[in-house]
Each structure stands twice: as structure tokens, then as C-alpha cells.
Structure 1
Amino acid sequence: MCSRSVTGSPPTQRIRSGPIQTVSLSFFRFGSVRDRLWALAMMGLARRGLAATPGIGFWKLCGSGTGEGFTPRPNTAVYAILATWDRRDTARIQTGYSPVFSRYHARARESWTVFLHPVSARGTWSGTAPFAAEPDPGTGPLAALTRATVRPRAALSFWNRVPNISAMIGDDPNVAFKIGIGEVPLLHQVTFSIWPSAGAMAQFARADGPHARAIRAVRTGDWFSEELYARFRVTGTRGTWLGTNPLESLKESA
């Protein structure tokens, strides 16, 4: 489940001059029933505050599925906020101290924010192209984000394939972090994963298996009414997830 965001014209990819866009993806884990109910209510109540946050562009309030999110069963403990910002310092300040984000941090048992630089983007999300891709500025971990609106007639076929794809990603020793979040249960799905390099990401994408077969099925069956694929350079993180920074494993193997 995910709230409405800023919308606009839908070019496939935007290349911009001026300040480099920063994308933030903040994950929050809630403990008590009271805090989980608060987070669920904020899926609606936080929209006005987010829209009024200085410097924010496109934004989404998202829920997640059970486990690592790759299931249609809602996880009442984990929520996420994705946002775009014109400047990196604005992203860091507002995701830490703006009124909406401060309320989430105060309630959450744990939070982790990833800061991202878009390096490629294809497709649309809610009718707009939210990510302003620029030439890749450096080296280090890369993140991949996919977002799709699943046609109702294809929902059962899609979700039957997701567990095998999730297991395949989990078995890959290169993946540092993966999660599935969502907008509308069953029909909207976002996947997010972090990899040590473009080579490791491409190796997974090319490998024959559940992922490749699912892509072929999507194309031949016309499962999605809207889709977006984006790649980002990870420029920083803040906080912890499951008690640690998931990217520490990449530093240890470097």
C-alpha cells in the first residue's frame, strides 16, 4: 500500500542540468501494536505533511510484505518512505529532522535510510518519470529498483513466481540487501536490492532461472500495465537494519 505522489508528464527518462538529484529510501520497523497501528494510519495522515516538506519532489509512502517483503501478505511492522530531492544536503536534513520524518523516527524501533544518485531510469511510476538520471559519478555499491502495476488478471501468475525469484536473490552471495515494498497489496510491487558492482548485478540479471523466466512471462503475457526500472549509485546511509548497516558486508569484502 502506498500513497499518492506528485505527478507530471511522463517522459521515459529525464536528464537534467543544475543540482544533482538525490533519492532517499527510508525504512522503518515498528514494535508494539500501538506503534504499528500508528504507522498504518500514517499511510493516509502523513501525505499532507510530506507534500509540504521543503525541497521534496516525488514521494511515496509504502508498506511491505511479510519476511523480506516478497509476499502479498502485509507486514504490519515495516514501512518505507521514498522521496526525491534537488540537493544531497536537503535530503539528509529533511529525512532526519523534518516534522513527518521526525515523527517516524520517534515511533520506530529501528530505521535505515539509503541515499541514492540515479544513473539510469526507464518507464513511469503513477504516470510520471520520477528519477532524473545523470552520468555515473563514481564507484561503489549499486542499487536496483523495479516498480510494476500488475494487471488483475495476471496477479496470481505473478505472485506464484515471486517466492522463487526472492530465493534466487537470497542465494546470491553478492546481494547486500533486498526488500519488497508495495503500494496496493497484490497489484503494486516495488523491489529494491543493493549490489557491490554493475557486474554482479548484470550477472544475476543474465542468469537463467526464475528471474529470467519471469521476465519472459511478463513480456509474453503482458502482465504489467505500468513498469519502471531504475539503477542508482549508493552515496550514503544512515541508521541500522536488523541491528547493523547492511552495507558493512561490502566494506569487509572490498
Structure 2
Amino acid sequence: MSIVTVTAFRYKPLARFRAFANMGRVLMQPIREEGLRFSKLMGSGINFGLVPDLSTYVFLGVWETDAAANAFIHTSTYQQLSQGTYQTGTLHLEPQRAHGLWDGRNPFDDSWDRVDRPAPKMSENSPVAVLTRATIRTQALPDFWRHVPQARQRLTDHADDLLFGIGVGEVPVVQQCTISVWRSPAAVDRYAYRQSGHKEVVRLTRERKWYSEELFARFSVLRAEGLLFAPVQALISSI
């Protein structure tokens, strides 16, 4: 089973141009580290919206082993990405299930879909991370973004269950990704299937064909590092 890391970098004002330039460098020369199977460096939007947050970027890595994931912080790549930051934090995740594609592939270990290997079980009190990612069809962009404030309000309505949430993406406007951490599997279900009206949004994506490519993944949270993810680690420590 692969290990997935989500590292958030928050930059001081004078370092934000360098951080933005990192996006271009990585697009031209993708990050290569031992044990790294898939990676993305993504910019963020303020409050999940269209306005860019130039202070915050996220690196997502899919690693062959926990040792490879842990070693990343000691690499020159990490040192370059973290230069000029005032806050960093990393989530270490284990994939539970995933469906869909990202750049034409499922980057997460899909072995749980095999009959001979059941999906890992999550404790009913353990935090859960959810990732959604999509490429939006050009003709669907106005309709999609018109519904974003409504979806954002639904997240706000579940603030007690939401430990962390951010909207990021590789390409502004067109490619979008959300990463969220919830108190428990039940909290995710309440948001996705019950009070929030999330099912209505899912219905619209199908009916109006917003996406040319999409992926959904759910993870157990193994541990969290850094003040940014302190609420997540506090919950894990209390279990």
C-alpha cells in the first residue's frame, strides 16, 4: 500500500514570487525523488474560490514506502520548496479507496479493488481525509463556478466536523482539487450524503457534464505534522 503526503507551505510576503516561480519550474521539470511514484505542486485559492492565495501552496506526493515519504523533508527539493516559508505542515495518509483518473491514471494504490485484498478498515473515531480533483470542460466553466459559493457554504455548515480544508489546483480556473480532513467516517457521510445537499451537486456534475476528467479518493490519516495540522494530530493523539 502506498503512502500519500500532503504538505502545505505558507510563505512570507517577500518569498511569494519565488513560490509562484516554483510552479513553473516543476511544470517544466517534474520533481523526481527516490520512491516517488506521482506528485503535484498546486497553488491555492482564497476560500476555495477563483482569487489566488499567493501565500499558500500544496505538494502532494504518492510514495512507495513510508521511509521514502519520511526522507522527503531531507531532500534539496524540499529545502527549495520550503525556502521563505513561515509555516509548513504535512499529512501522512493511507488510501482507503479511489475512483477516477488524474492525468489519465489513478495515482493512488488501487489494490483495494482486488477481490483478494479488502480495503483497509477505518476506526469510527479516526480522522478521514478526502480528495476531489477535476478538469472542468471549457464550456462548463461559468456554470461550475456559479455553484462554488453554494458548495463552500455547505462546508461552512459542517465546520464542527471539518478539521482542515483547502481548494488547490495545477492550472487556475480549469483544474481544481479540494483536500479536506474530517473528524470521522460518519462526519464525511453526514456531509456527502445527508444534510448538506452534496448529492444535488453530484447530480448536477453528471447531468451537465462539467468535468472531462475527475477523481475521488478517501484516506485514513496516519499522522499530521506542523502547527497547520495541529487539530488533526490532537484528535489522533486522543484516540
Aligned match of 2:21: 41
- CA–CA distance in structure 2, aligned partners of residues 180 and 145 of structure 1: 10
User: Would the alpha carbon gap of residues 250 and 29 (structure 1) be closer, same or farther in structure 2, given more than 3 Å must change?
Assistant: same
Q: For 1:215-237, what per-residue CA distance to the aligned partner results, in whole angstroms no more than 9, with x for missing partners?
A: 11111111100000101011111
Indicate if the aligned counterparts of 1:176 and 1:250 stay in contact, CA closer than 8 A. Answer: no
SS in 2 for 1:246: helix
- CA–CA distance in structure 1, aligned partners of residues 128 and 23 of structure 2: 28
Matched, 1:29 2:10: yes
- CA–CA distance in structure 1, aligned partners of residues 237 and 74 of structure 2: 31
Unaligned runs of 5+ in 1: 1-19
Aligned match of 2:141: 155
Aligned match of 2:219: 232
Amino acid at match of 1:119: Q
Indicate if the aligned counterparts of 1:29 and 1:78 stay in contact, CA closer than 8 A. Answer: yes
Q: Give the C-alpha shift of residue 164 in structure 1.
A: 1.8
For these two proteins, the number of residue pairs brought into alignment is 229
- Identity value in percent: 32
Aligned match of 2:80: 103
Aligned match of 2:105: 128
Q: For 1:47-81, what per-residue CA distance to the aligned partner results, in whole angstroms no more than 9, with x for missing partners?
A: 577533111111111001013xx101111111011
Q: For 1:151-175, what per-residue CA distance to the aligned partner results, in whole angstroms no more than 9, with x for missing partners?
A: 1111111111112212211221211
The two structures have a TM-score, normalised by structure 1, of 0.84
Aligned match of 2:115: none
Indicate if the aligned counterparts of 2:129 and 2:220 stay in contact, CA closer than 8 A. Answer: yes
Aligned match of 1:12: none
Q: Give the C-alpha shift of residue 46 in structure 1.
A: 3.7
User: Would the alpha carbon gap of residues 186 and 108 (structure 1) be closer, same or farther in structure 2, given more than 3 Å must change?
Assistant: same
- CA RMSD for the aligned pairs? 1.9
Unaligned runs of 5+ in 2: 113-118
Alignment of 1:99-248 (within 5 A): 99-133=76-110, 134=112, 135-136=119-120, 138-139=122-123, 140-172=126-158, 173-241=160-228, 245-248=230-233
Indicate if the aligned counterparts of 1:148 and 1:188 stay in contact, CA closer than 8 A. Answer: yes
Q: For 1:189-213, what per-residue CA distance to the aligned partner results, in whole angstroms no more than 9, with x for missing partners?
A: 1011111221211121112545222
Aligned match of 1:63: 43
- CA–CA distance in structure 1, aligned partners of residues 161 and 76 of structure 2: 37
Between stretches 46-55 and 112-121, larger displacement belongs to 46-55
Amino acid at match of 2:120: D
